[in-house]
Amino acid sequence: AEAHMFTTFKVARDHDLAAQIGRDLFFDLVDYEKIHPIRVLKDMPFNQVKEEFSKEFGIPVHSQRFWWWSKRQNNTYRPTRPLTQQEESYTVGQLKDAAIRMNSSELRLYLEVVQENHLTLASRTKDDILLFFKLYDPEKEELRYVGNLLLKASSKPSDIVPKLNEIAGFQHDEDIELYEEIKFEPNIMCEPVDCDVSFSLNQIADGDILCYQKRCSLDQHRHPNVSSFFEYVHNRQVVHFRLLEKPKQDDFSLELSKRSTYDDVVEKVAQHLGMDDPSKLRLTQHIPHLQQPKHQYIKYRSIDHLSDMLLLRNPNQMSDILYYEILDIPLPELQGLITLRVAFHQATPNEVLFHIIRLPKGSTYSDLIDDLKSKVQLSRSDAELRLFQVNNNKIWKVYLPTEKIDAVHDPNVPLHVEEIPEVEKSAGPRDRLVHVVHFFKDNQHIQYYGVPFFFLIREGEALSDIKVRIQKKFEVPDEQFLKWKFAYVAYNRPDYLQDSDIVLSRFQVEYILFFWMFDRKYAFIQTFLAGISFSRKTFMDHGNNP
């Protein structure tokens, strides 16, 4: 009930900066999300807060100076000015209201503490500036916070070199170089400081951050200076790689740079996998909201940098997953070919064998047939082959041998190939070649499944004769076949056929529907087939269903 009487605020101390910088944080000074909030009464005078800090942390009141933070135009977040004496006389609630007016969602302060060689905080003049210092070790590739200094803007960086060496534990006359940490988004800006001109001429002011290190040659270390280390930290990215065949589990992880080129990425992956030729790797991007790989792989050198490979549609979001495949030929060579996954339906026994066939772009389906014939066993040396595409479990298109292969074929979707039975070659002008499709009834709705096929129905043929041929084609035992029923379906309504029915008489148009089905009432797996048929002449001339 008294919750409205309280408020919270956060204070960052040098202890917090030292704990975060170089571990969880490299840019700016502190992550306030990791600072524990302080809960007090709204009407508590801020001077009383200082007394509490003195008791809690052993910091005398006269050694405490609190600073406002502000977000700069370059999106960095720095201490901007100390609280005035009048502001320190406010209550915590009043200070929080002031923070909100300054576009801050909460009251955040930085506590400056008197330097060790002073008994009390010096009074600030217009020439005074408070600077923060980070120390970089290029040998260990480590960055740490080493404290702040209250300096004269009119003084030179060279004036404080001995002090900085002392803080770092260097020799008094160690040659060091200083960098100003300016911003880190969208790109790193960390520039050398001219030690022989004043801080004011260097445009260095309250809240600025200076990083320093021992001077070293550029080829001495992996990241020889502060700027290169910041670039490394800013761009480093751990990427989780998954085999495309096993898209649900990470295979390994690598630390890379967002600025790594395509060649850099595949080379690192190849090294990890022990491959001699990185060009035999193929990468695919990740779709986070579907948790699956993209449909299209990354073409050879088609994406410049790792950051582009991981970038999502939302420019502020990046994935950290890539899929990889190990190819048997280099990717540039493979991209010059059409890759097809072919499902070959053997005449006997009744089974399907899958083959991967690669052909030069511009090849025809006749070229595919010639290649496939060298890989499969045909029932006859002069057997003719039929090629067709299946979409949604229905025959979608039949291809003529003279047609060029469409380069956009998805290699994961098979192209179906089968021998043309000899019986079709003797078909009469009124016989019908039927597309047969598996289906089942779900809540009175027809649902398709399985692989469709072609079936020839002759003029005047009764259902009883068709059943004999169907049973022979699928090698169904008599006991099981007795439970199969056949139906003519119009407008998704099955009309069961009798053995004496002349099947083609049911169809009064050139394009017809024919279904045979295993009735739902039997306790076996249901097998339903449906088909669209057309005259043999239409099939041979056009090669497409309507």
The identity of residue 401, as a single letter, is P
Pair (129, 276) in one structural domain: no
Query: Are 249 and 290 in the same domain?
Result: yes
Share of the chain above pLDDT 70, in %: 88
In a domain, 228, yes or no: no
Residues 149 and 97 in one domain: yes
Residue 111, CA distances (Å) to 7, 39, 243, 288 in order: 19, 17, 51, 42
Within a domain: residue 78?
A: yes
**Considering only 222-231, 275-284, 379-388, 512-521, which range has the smallest mean pLDDT?**
512-521
Tell me, yes or no, whether 62 and 195 share the same domain. yes
CA atoms within 13 A on the CB side of 440: 10
269 and 363 assigned to the same domain: no
- For residues 24 and 172, state if they share a domain: yes
Angle, helices 46-57/92-101, rounded to nearest 10 degrees: 110
CATH of the domain at 245: 3.10.20.90
pLDDT higher for 520 or 334?
Answer: 334
- What pLDDT was estimated at residue 433? 85
Strand order in the sheet with 415-419: 352-360, 337-345, 415-419, 385-391, 394-399
447-459 per-position pLDDT tens digit:
778 888 888 999 9
Residue 361 domain boundaries: 336-420
Percentage helix, strand, coil for the chain under 3-state DSSP, each rounded to 5: 25, 35, 40
Note whether 67 and 112 are within 8 A (CB). yes
Q: Which H, E and C letters describe 247-265, residue by residue? A: CCCCCEEEEEECCCEHHHH
Q: Where does residue 503 rank: exposed (0-12), middle (13-18), buried (19+ CB within 10 A)?
A: buried
User: 455 with 361, same domain?
Assistant: no
Q: What is the count of structural domains for the chain?
A: 4
Chain position carrying tokens 């469709």: 452
DSSP states along 428-454: -TT-EEEEEEEEEEETTEEEEEEEEEE
Averaged pLDDT of the chain: 86
pLDDT of residue 521: 26
For residue 268, tell me if it sits in a domain: yes
pLDDT of residue 492: 66
pLDDT at 349: 63
pLDDT reported for residue 407:
55
**pLDDT value at residue 506:** 78
Asked whether residue 207 is domain-assigned, the answer is yes
- The label of the residue with tokens 């088609």 reads 302
> Is 71 in the same domain as 192?
yes
Same domain for 70 and 167, yes or no, is yes
Look up the pTM and report it: 0.69
Which of 281, 302, 333 terminates a domain? The answer is: 333
Clarify whether residues 324 and 344 are in a common domain.
no
The pLDDT, as a whole number, for residue 116 is 59
Specify the pairing of strand 394-399 against strand 77-82. Answer: unpaired
Q: Has residue 369 got a pLDDT over 90?
A: yes
What percentage of residues in the chain have a pLDDT greater than 90? 61
CB 519 within 8 A of CB 485: yes
DSSP tag of 310: H
Per-residue 3-state assignment (H helix, E strand, C coil) for 133-195: EEEEECCCCEEEEEEEEEEECCCCHHHHHHHHHHHHCCCCCCCEEEEEEEECCCCCEEEECCC
Residues 4-44 have pLDDT tens digits of 889 999 999 999 999 999 998 999 999 999 999 999 999 99
**Would 220 be classed as within a structural domain?**
no
Which one, of 224, 191, 196, lies nearest residue 208 by Cα? 191
Q: Is the pLDDT of residue 119 over 70?
A: no
Q: What is the pLDDT of residue 513?
A: 38
| 409 & 436 share domain | no
User: Is the same domain home to 309 and 264?
Assistant: yes
Given a contact cutoff of 8 angstroms between Cβ atoms, the answer to whether 51 and 61 are in contact is: yes
Say if 342 falls within a structural domain: yes
Q: Look up the CATH number of the domain holding residue 538.
A: 3.10.20
Which range (230-239, 306-315, 537-546) has the least confidence? 537-546
**Quick check: 531 pLDDT over 60?**
no
Using the predicted structure, report yes or no on whether residue 166 has a pLDDT greater than 90: yes
**In a domain? residue 308:** yes
Distance CA 523, CA 516 (A): 17
pLDDT for 411: 66
Buried b (16+ CB within 10 A) or exposed e, 319-350: eebbbbeeeeeebeebeeebebebbbbeeeee
